[in-house]
Structure formats: C-alpha cells, structure tokens
Amino acid sequence: MTSSLHRRLAVLGLVWSLVAAVSALRTARMSPIDPMARLESEFRALAADLPSRGEVGYLERYAQGDAEDAVRTHYAAQYALVPRVVVGRTGPEFVIVAAGTERPGGDPRLAGYVQVAQSPAGHRIFRRFAR
Amino acid sequence: MIRALAGVILPVLAVWAGLIATGLRERQEPLLLGLARAFCLAMGLTSISTFATLMVGGRLNAAFVIVDAAVWTCLAGVSIVAMLRRPSLPLKPRAPLTSADIAVRTVFLVVAVCACGVPVFEYLASPHGQWDAWAIWNQKARFMYRAGPGWTDSMAIPWSQPGHPPLVAGTVARLWAYAGGELTAVPAMVAGLFAIAMAGIVMGTLGLQHLRAWVAGAILIAPWTFSHLAAAQTADLPLGVFIVASLATLPRTPREWQQRGWVAVALVLAGVLGSMAAWTKNEGFVYLAASTALVCWSSYRHGRLADVRWWLVGLAPLLSVIVAFKVFVVPATTDYLVGTSESSTIIARVLDGARQVRLVETVATLAFRWGGTLTAGSLLLMLLLAAGLGALPEGRTARGYLFVSAVMLAGYSVVYLLTPFDVVWLISTTFDRLTLQVWPVLVLAACTSAEGVSTTEAA
C-alpha cells in the first residue's frame, strides 16, 4: 500500500476483520443443537418396514400443519427415507404417522389403514390392505 | 474420509498439472490461485461425469469409484510428468518480509483461525447442514448415492428445488461413493474446501506478495455471514466461488488484451468457469448474462470484438449439458416468478405500494445487519468502498466487477419485486445467501483498485 489513505483503509479493514471474526466465533459457539440429526435417526428406524422405493404417504399434523416444526418433521422423514418419496397426504399403501400428528380420539384421514410398525420415538407406519 | 479426500485430490492434481502441461497456465502463477482454480474446474468436471454416469443408468458403487479413480490417477500422472518436462521460466526471488508483512499476515492468521472455528462449531451442532442442505442439496445427493439412475425421483419433491442443477449434489454423492458411506463430514468438507478456494482465488488474484491480498483475505472470510454459509453445506458459496473465479480469469489490462493467444485461453477458461456457475445454481444464469455483457464491452473497447467467440467456446459445452438437464430431467415446476407471464400481474405487483414499502424496509434492515453482531453495516461499507475506489480513473477493472455485481443484485431485486410469495419471507430467507454470491467480487473490486494499478501490472 503506497498512499497513506490506502494504508489507513488497510488498517481499518484488518481491525474490522478481527472484530468480525471473533464475534462470529462467539456466535457460532452458541449455536443451538439442530434437531435434524435426532429426527433423521428416528425416521431411519422405520425404513425396514417400508417398501424400498416409490411413494409413501405422510400424515400432516392435524393442527398448524404449516408451522416450522411440523414442516421440519415432514422434511426430516423425507430426508431419512430417501429414495422413497414421502408425500404429504394419505392415499398411498403406506402412510407415516409422526408422533403427535394424528388427531386425538381418532383421525378420519386414517380410515381404512391399520398400524403395522412403530419406532421407539413414537413414529408409526400405517398400511392399507387391499380387500 | 481419507478416501473421500482422495476423490478431491486426484482430479485437482490432474487439472492443475494439466493446465500447466498444456501451456494454458504458467507455472509461475501463484500456487494458491492455480490450485483454487483447479479445484473449481475439477469439481465441475467430476460432477458432470457423475451426472452422466447416473443418466446412462450407472450407480455410484465400487466399480464407479475404481474406474473414476483410475481415470483421474492416470490423468494426474501423465499431466505431472508432462508438466515437469515443460521448460519454465526461473522463479522470481522473493523479497524478504518486512515488519508490516509479518503484522498483516499474523492478523490474517488470527482471522483465519476464528473463521475456521465457526464451521467446526456449526458442524457439531448441525452435522447435516442448514435447512436447505438437508431439504435440497444433501437430499439430492442421497437420491443419487442410494438410487443410482432412480435419483430423478427427487424431482417429484417440490421443496427440493428440482430446477437447480446438480453440481453440489453430484459432488457430494461422488465423494460418498469414495468414502463408502454417507458420512456427514463429506458435505461439510466440500463446503469448507469451496470456502478455502474462494479465499485462494481472491488472494491469489491480488498476488500474495502484496499486503492487500492478505487484507482482502481477512476481510473476505471474517464476517459471520461468510463463515456461517461456509458451514451451511448449500450451493450459494460454491456459486460465489465460480463467479469470482470466472471474473478473475478474464483479461483485465490493455496489455493483456493485446496478447492474442493469452486472451483466447483466458476467455475460454473464464467461460468454462462461468458455465460451471450456471451448473451450480440457477442464479448462475444471471451471472452469465452480466459477464457476457462485460466481455462484449471489454473486447469491443480493446478492438478485439471477435475474441468474444473464445468466451462462447468456453460456455458452450456445459451449457449444452445444462439445457439437456433442463429439458429431459427437470419437470415443469413452479418457481419464484410464477404468474409473471401476464402483464396485468406484473403491473399489479409493481404498483402495490404497501408491498414495495415492505420490500425496501426488509432489504434495508438485512443489508444493514449483514456481517453479524458488532460488524453490522459491513456489506454497505464494502459497497461504498468498492464504488469509491472503482470511480478512480485507474479503477477500470473494479468497475467491470462492480457492473457484474450490480446486474446480479438488480436481477435478484426484480425477483423480489415480482414474486407471488410473501416478499418479507422470501427476502429474509434468501438475502444473506444471495449477497454472499457477490461478496468476494466486491472485496476483489475494492482491493484490485487499492493501489491505483491493476493486479497484473503490479505483479
């Protein structure tokens, strides 16, 4: 840096960088644990009871289905169960019912389905058998 | 993990040595810059070969790894032997370090240690990456790794952004194949290597013998937004790397434009890197439009308009792959501009005063906050600094970079203006990622003109 202006700018830039980097590190140390790792391993436990490919249904949460945690849980099921495609509706032969998504006292969306598996975390698989 | 690292090192070595062996790059070029550029090209090429393997019905199994590793080992071996046989100019003796050099490099080192710590802490808290990583990029990689040619089933998942090209997902899937399993450390490593490559491109372009390269490196990697996205495992940081790598490869000075053979090579390489930006994420097309305009203007101003063909030669091969991907793989999906084919819809959205107020307020708030706690305002300051230095008579190169950044930001603003989605939600979830794509270009623009001469002439 030849001119004094450039030298001053460089010093300012370096001081700013130090403050920014230390501040970023402090912020990162306080990062909350992402629930995705837990959710992913919970849904992975259901894989053995599902077909290896194709569409699998997913019961959207009965209330506030578009809330962030409800959406995250649905996406986690999809992420864990690739290469199956986890669609947000009933209708396919197999339907995943995540813990807490079913309407208490009987969910009419599950009419015709019977439970065939349950994971330790409380997520369940329902299946509709052909008559 | 070692095997995944081998999946990176082999193609990088092959490309780096190959460029020197064929005379496309000089051995005197800074090693950091050469390796960073080779990393970009290698990741682009290997993602194409992975995509091609899947599209012809192949799987990413042991046989794929054996063939892939054998090919890259052979190419690396041949390239290194050819490179060593090639006569090269003697290296310039290095000047001894001054106390200012030592001080600046020490500060850079401290900043780098802190910046590297951020992805480590974030990886421990979020091993699968941030929301978009597991909802889009790593999920697509899982489809590729687990389902082979059946990976296209992922196109049925609306939130997985099926229209985005598969460079990042293909890279992760290929390295999982090398590792023999879906290690969460692999996408984290890929993200980290792209972050290092970004610093390498910016610092190497400015010349490591100059203080400004180390200042630029520190400024580039220090903000929370940078290190946070280096940990994100998404495609925005890789896109930013390809953008700055492509721009930095373009000829800059009148002297460079007069070297006929050199200009052709530089334009082809810059074109290839630019097309890889479009192969990374759809925003890369905005970069291609802006950079094509810059190349046309620069070549016209230097009386070398015909040389635009070299830029197009660099773009064409991968663009044809992208077109095939878009036509044959991507289904018709909704995007951020749904409904904008009707002029009445466009007019209604543009003239919606309340919407525009929300848009401006949200952008202003996020632009001010950009950078993290204690360093708010850094994006706006860098914009002002780059614009100020670029306005100097000798800031011609910086003005070119700023033009590209301005076009990209304007393009994103148009999407914000016209999107049918909640504009506050869209801006809040994309602003940091989109601005990070131009952050290295702004830093490079500011520091390129920091001494009043172009980087190349200074070197």
Half-sphere CA count of A23, side-chain side, radius 13 A: 18
**Gap between the Cα atoms of A77 and A71, Å rounded:** 10
Query: Cβ of A82 and B154 within 8 Å?
Result: yes
Q: What is the pLDDT of residue B12?
A: 96
Handedness of CA B380, B381, B384, B389 (dihedral sign): negative
A19, B389, B399 from B458: Cα distances, Å: 30, 16, 18
Residue B295 distance to chain A (closest CA, Å): 29
**Which among B119, B121, B374 has CB closest to A23?**
B374
**Gap between the Cα atoms of B202 and B223, Å rounded:** 16
Question: What would the pLDDT profile of B232-265 be if each residue is shown by its tens digit?
Answer: 999 999 999 999 999 999 988 777 778 777 888 8
**Predicted structure pTM score:** 0.91
| Chain B residue at shortest CA distance from A34 | B126
| Phi/psi of residue B53, nearest 5 degrees | -60, -45
ipTM for the assembly? 0.91
Place of tokens 């209330």: A63
SS3 of A59, please?
coil
**Which among A2, A10, A31 has CB closest to B122?**
A31
Query: Cβ of B114 and A36 within 8 Å?
Result: no
Q: Which residues of chain B have pLDDT under 70?
A: 27-28, 89-91, 332-341, 450-459
Chain A residues near residue B221 by CB distance under 8 angstroms: 21
| Chain B residue at shortest CA distance from A21 | B222
CA torsion B227-B232-B238-B241 (nearest 10°) is: -10
* CA distance between the termini of chain B: 38
Contact A117, A56 (CB under 8 A): no
Put simply, whether B416 touches A (Cβ < 8 Å) is: no
| Chain B residue at shortest CA distance from A84 | B153
Place of tokens 């489809």: B143
**Gap between the Cα atoms of A56 and A98, Å rounded:** 13
Put simply, whether B181 touches A (Cβ < 8 Å) is: no
- Helix (H) or strand (E) segment spanning residue B333: none
Query: Cβ of B134 and A75 within 8 Å?
Result: yes
Beta carbons within 8 Å of A26's beta carbon, 6+ residues apart: B373
Query: Cβ of B110 and A21 within 8 Å?
Result: yes
% helix, strand, coil for chain A, step of 5: 40, 15, 45
B24, B81, B88, B295, B394 from B299: Cα distances, Å: 20, 36, 30, 6, 18
Chain B residues near residue A26 by CB distance under 8 angstroms: 373
Q: What is the pLDDT of residue A126?
A: 94
Contacts 24+ apart (CB under 8 A), B98-102: B100/B211, B101/B211
**Which among B119, B378, B450 has CB closest to A1?**
B450
**Which among A21, A28, A40 has CB closest to B122?**
A28
**H helices present in B56-136, as ranges:** 62-85, 99-125, 131-132
Q: What is the pLDDT of residue B34?
A: 92
Taking only residues 59 to 88 of chain B, the set having a beta carbon closer than 8 angstroms to any beta carbon of chain A reads none
Place of tokens 């962030």: A68
Query: Cβ of B224 and A24 within 8 Å?
Result: yes
CB atoms within 10 A of CB A16: 20
Contact B330, B162 (CB under 8 A): yes
Put simply, whether B154 touches A (Cβ < 8 Å) is: yes
Q: What is the pLDDT of residue A2?
A: 56
Residue type, B237: L
Residue A105 distance to chain B (closest CA, Å): 31
Q: What is the pLDDT of residue B418?
A: 83
| Chain A residue at shortest CA distance from B138 | A79
Q: What is the pLDDT of residue B450?
A: 67
The gap from C-alpha A91 to its chain's centroid, in whole angstroms, comes to 22
**Which among A6, A19, A24 has CB closest to B451?**
A6
**Gap between the Cα atoms of B220 and B226, Å rounded:** 8
**Gap between the Cα atoms of B323 and A4, Å rounded:** 51
**H helices present in chain A, as ranges:** 4-29, 36-44, 68-81
Q: What is the pLDDT of residue B227?
A: 93
Put simply, whether B138 touches A (Cβ < 8 Å) is: yes
| Phi/psi of residue B132, nearest 5 degrees | -65, -25
**Which among A24, A31, A36 has CB closest to B372?**
A24
| Chain B residue at shortest CA distance from A6 | B450
Q: What is the DSSP letter of B24?
A: S
